[in-house]
Amino acid sequence: MTKKTTQPKILFGLDTFGDIPTDKDGKLMTHAAAIRQVVDEAVLADKLGIDVISVGEHHREDFSISSPETVLAGIATKTKNIKLASGVTVLSSDDPVRVFERFATVDALSSGRAQIILGRGSFTESFPLFGYDLKDYEILFEEKVALMAEVLKEKPVTWEGTTRAALNDADIYPKTESGRIHTSIGVGGSPQSVVRAAKYGFPLMLAVIGGSPDRFVPYVDLYQHAAKEFGTSSDEIGIHSPGFIADTDEQARRIAWPAHKTNFDRIGRSRGWPPITREHFDYEIDHGSLYIGSPETVAKKMAKTIKTLGVMRFDLVYGGGPMPAAAREHMIELYATKVIPRISELLAEKPDGKK
Amino acid sequence: MAKNNKPALGIIGAGKLGVTLTRLALKAGYTVYIAGSGVASKIELSTKVITPGAVAVTAKEAARRADIVILALPLGKYRTLPVDALHGKLVIDAMNYWWEIDGEDEALKNPASSTSELVQAFLPGSRVVKALSHMGYHHLHDEARPKDTPGRKAIAIAGNRVADTVTVAELVNDLGFDPVIIGNLASGKKLEPGNPAFGANVDAATLKTYL
């Protein structure tokens, strides 16, 4: 567990699902090239001092990463300081024992930089793929979080449930050098998920992918109340939201819009919602949860959210949709060299605007 | 009837949609009984913190104590509803078939009728009206506005009895939206996923062009 300091540092991360970028000629990359692109971007982020790279787990054509910890292992040996997180690991359709083994391995390769974010994910294509029934959605997550909490203690585990074979005094390897893999729970707005995270003492990652971030203020309160009730710690709350940064606001919207629309409409087709309008896109940038614009615009919006929710970590989901690889790389540079320093300045300002 | 002469609301489903509707209803001065999928104690803490003022109860209790009951649970679970306790009640169906939660369900995916008619058939003693189903929960949260606000967003209502749709229209108005009554329960099909009105976060005039 982290120690409380008087001036806690806010962590800034990047998060990707391994969307397929376009190359110099505007052609979609292969899945393999998209994965190598993420590794290159993580190396860049590490050089520039970004705190965390999170990679999500999806099992769809439009996202290249289905096995986050394998990608993280690739990043691990090429980087020095950046934390290596999943975002999220779909625990319901995975096995907590194997999740631990894989992340403990990444932790070894990276000398202690592995992190897990457990979640249910908003996509559920992993269920039929791995032979799980969506009707068991609740119980699968509930039981596996409970088992995961035990496994993470790195002591022999005795456990019995309905969703996998029982464990009797089972020791699980490799052990980590620190004795603990940093593990959070990602939640999307279900109050019971927030309570569950507090119950097991897991840090909370709020996935805010649309609408005003302010509406999550009560969830932060709930997490703190619940942690107090369960006697667990509640000082680590982070947020994950999508964004894109370019040199100017106009340029950022121009590059992000077609990629975002392609991404959103493809998902919408399978879920039965109509194509996204430009008006909605602009609304989300101006009032909702899209952090898109110049470094100044994005820094101001992120700083506002950090202040409003009191979060200690912000993972910006980058590269949504088929976006030029070069634009993604430029975004990472702007994030590290302009946005993050500017947010620190903004957060240091007193409410009256004076330093 | 509860305070302000407003009907008491029961909200079955304490997830994203149920919580959002509870917040809007409390703000509008309604008494709200909210229920999750299990015992009341499971949602007591979250109710106290996120929707202070609402009363955490079981689904059966919410149905029994409320005048109007809003269904905000996953559609795939509608067969778990307390049929007897809902007898004689006005029931608002805010549910949609969402395969990523409900699983592949042929009966729900390609029903012969609207999904609200399936719910009505399961609740023969209740009067089912479809409403509050087409707008995403975060839009419901962000877009609620007082009556007569220019550009106020609209919510479509489908039901078989005019009196019931008018009652629901009053509730929709109180929650912060312009009600648009579109016809009988079968016409609620136009609000389901895959149709232009699904996901609609637009004003009344625009919503009508989608229907």
Cα–Cα distances (Å) from A294 to A22, A45, A250, A300, in that order, read: 22, 19, 8, 10
Contact status of B142 with chain A (Cβ, < 8 Å): yes
Tell me whether residue A70 is exposed, middle or buried, using C-beta atoms within 10 angstroms of its C-beta: 0 to 12, 13 to 18, 19 or more: middle
Does the structure show a pLDDT above 70 at A170?
A: yes
Res. A4 pLDDT band, cuts 50 70 90:
very low
- Chain A from 162 to 191: CB within 8 A of any B CB: 188-191
CB contact A211 to B (< 8 Å): yes
Contact A212 B196 (CB under 8 A): no
Instruction: Give per-residue pLDDT as tens, A23-58.
Output: 999 999 999 999 999 999 999 999 999 999 999 999
Sequence-separated (6 or more) residues with CB below 8 Å from residue A17: A55, A56, A58, A63, A65, A317
Residue type, A5: T
From residue A58, give the alpha-carbon distance in Å to each of A52, A126, B64, B85, B151: 19, 8, 42, 42, 38
| Number of other residues whose CB lies within 10 A of the CB of residue B3 | 9
Residues of B in contact with A194 (CB under 8 A): 46
Give dist(CA A192, CA B169) in Å, integer.
Answer: 31
User: Is residue A296 a contact partner of residue A236, using CB atoms and an 8 Å limit?
Assistant: no
Q: Which positions in chain B touch A212 (Cβ < 8 Å)? A: 138, 141-142
Mean pLDDT of A167-187: 97
CB-side neighbour CA atoms (13 Å) of B73: 21
What's the confidence (pLDDT) of residue A137? 86
Q: Which residues touch A18 (CB under 8 Å, ≥6 apart)?
A: A34, A35, A38, A55, A56, A58, A63, A64, A65, A71
Q: B34, B100, B211: best mutation site toward chain A, by most A Cβ within 10 Å? A: B100
When CB atoms are compared, the residue of B98, B100, B142 closest to A212 is B142
Task: Kindly give the pairing relationship between strand B9-12 and strand B32-35.
Answer: parallel
- What backbone torsions phi and psi does residue A192 show, to the nearest 5 degrees? -65, -30
Are the Cβ atoms of A222 and B46 closer than 8 angstroms? yes
Q: Any CB–CB contact under 8 A between B43 and chain A?
A: yes
Which whole number is the average pLDDT over A140-166?
96
Chain B: closest CA distance from residue A9 (Å): 28
Write out chain B residues lying below 8 Å of A276, CB-based: none
Residue A135 reports pLDDT greater than 60:
yes
CB contact under 8 A, A229 and B142: no
Interface-testing mutation among A137, A139, A140, with chain B (most B C-beta atoms within 10 A)? A137
Please give the ipTM for the structure prediction: 0.86
pLDDT of residue B2: 53
Amino acid A3: pLDDT: 44
A211/B139 CB distance under 8 A: yes
Write the DSSP symbol of residue B51.
S
Q: Which residues of A touch B104 (CB under 8 A)?
A: 128, 134
**B88 min Cα distance to partner chain A (Å):** 30
As a whole number of angstroms, the distance between CA A35 and CA A26 comes to: 17
Owning domain of residue B132 = 3-209
Look up residue B88 and give its DSSP letter. Answer: T
* Residue A46 token pair: 């590490």
Residue-level pLDDT at B107: 77
Whether A269 contacts chain B with CB within 8 A = no
Nearest to B16 by CA among A193, A261, A56, A132: A193
Evaluate whether A154 touches A176 at the Cβ level (below 8 Å).
yes
CA distances from A131 to A64, A187, A288, B104 (A): 21, 24, 36, 13
What's the pLDDT score for residue B148?
Answer: 97
Domain ranges of chain A: 11-348
Interface touch B45/A226, C-beta < 8 Å: yes
Chain A residues lying within 8 Å of B100, measured CB to CB? 122-124, 134, 271
* A271 neighbourhood in chain B, CB within 8 Å: 98, 100, 193
- The count of domains in chain B is 1
pLDDT tens digits for range A288-347: 999 999 999 999 999 999 999 999 999 999 999 999 999 999 999 999 999 999 999 999
Prior bond to A174 cis, omega within 30? yes
- Do the chains contact at A211 and B142, CB–CB below 8 Å? yes
User: What is the spatial distance between Cα B18 and Cα B33, in angstroms, rounded to a whole number?
Assistant: 11
> What was the pLDDT predicted at A352?
60
Inter-chain residue contact B199 with A274, CB threshold 8 Å: yes
Does residue B37 sit at the A interface (CB-CB below 8 Å)? yes
Q: Which is nearest to B105 in space by CA: A134, A307, A334?
A: A134
Q: Tell whether A271 lies on the interface with B, counting CB pairs under 8 A.
A: yes
CB contact under 8 A, A271 and B50: no
**CA–CA gap between residue A117 and residue A23 (Å, rounded):** 30
Q: Do residues A153 and A183 lie in contact, with contact meaning Cβ atoms separated by under 8 Å? A: no
Say if residue A214's pLDDT is above 90. yes
Distance of CA A182 to the CA centre of its chain: 13
- Check CB contact under 8 Å for B43 and A192: yes
For the domain spanning A11-348, the CATH number is 3.20.20.30
* Contact (CB, 8 A) for A130 and A144: no
Question: Does the distance separating the beta carbons of B50 and A218 come in below 8 Å?
Answer: yes
Read off the pLDDT band of A353 (50, 70, 90): low
Size of interface A-B (CB pairs under 8 A): 87
Share of chain A above pLDDT 70, in %: 96
For residue B37, give the DSSP letter: S
Percentage of residues in chain A having pLDDT higher than 90: 87
| Local structure of B173: helix, strand or coil | helix
Contact in structure between A91 and A116 (CB atoms under 8 Å): no
Query: What are the pLDDT tens digits along chain B (211 aa)?
Result: 555 689 999 999 999 999 999 999 999 999 999 999 989 999 999 999 999 999 999 999 999 999 999 999 999 999 999 999 999 999 999 999 987 777 777 778 777 889 999 999 999 999 999 999 999 999 999 999 999 999 999 999 999 999 999 999 999 999 999 999 999 999 999 999 999 999 999 999 999 999 9
CATH code of the domain in which B50 resides: 3.40.50.720
